[in-house]
Amino acid sequence: MLLETKFGSLDDFLERLKFDTYPEIPAEPHNSITREMVARIAALSGLGPGAKILDVGCGQGTALDLFERRDYRPVGITLNREDVAVCRAKGFSVREMDQSFLDFPDQEFDLVWCRHCLEHSIFPYFTLAGFSRVLKPDGWLYIEVPAPDTSCHHETNRNHYSVLGKSMWVDLLARSGCELLDVMEIQYTVFA
């Protein structure tokens, strides 16, 4: 009975967090950065047509569109129902799903793309272990997260729960079984 109570509490908590989501309407600089990074990952990974891509926190489909243009087979996940509806109206394969509880078989994807979504996880180590589980042994993981303590103040966003420093992210990735190939900082100017 105690175990059921604990899991029930977690279920209730996760259900409440869904109300912290908001639609991810395509905008700059996100669109430009997404285009640049999709091209860079495609070149580095050598993924060919038919590669299965998981777009974690797919928003309204910016990356899904770019992946489809490369003849990949992307699947998007998001907790925001409006984003799900917009993506489906555009013809994208999208599921309403929590990034920490992936309902996919082991070793399903050639690439897990997680751009500005991991900071929304209440337990990022667990979430990263799930990403590792669904990746093929030679698969690629792309993660982009906001830096803490910048002028954007990401740590104060109502649904950012894990705005960690670079060394912590690097360590969590390694603990999750990922081989780190590159760490980069994306610089851009924020206008008020």
> Which of 15, 53, 186, 167 shows the shortest CA–CA distance to 116?
186
Which domain, by its residues, includes 96?
A: 28-175
pLDDT tens series, the chain, 192 aa: 566 777 888 888 888 888 888 898 999 999 999 999 999 999 999 999 999 999 999 999 999 999 999 999 999 999 999 999 999 999 999 999 999 999 999 999 999 999 999 999 999 999 999 999 999 999 999 999 998 877 776 777 788 888 899 999 999 999 999 988 888 888 766 665
CA 94 to each of CA 11, 42, 64, 100: distance values in angstroms, whole numbers, following the listed order: 22, 21, 9, 16
Q: Is residue 171 part of a domain?
A: yes
Q: Is residue 164 part of a domain?
A: yes
> Which of 162, 130, 128 shows the shortest CA–CA distance to 147?
162
Element (H, E) at 111: strand 109-115
Q: Which CATH number do you get for residue 61?
A: 3.40.50.150
Q: Is residue 107 part of a domain?
A: yes
Q: Is residue 121 part of a domain?
A: yes
Q: Is residue 181 part of a domain?
A: no
Q: Is residue 9 part of a domain?
A: no
* CA–CA distance, 180 with 110 (Å, rounded to integer): 16
Give the count of domains, the chain.
1
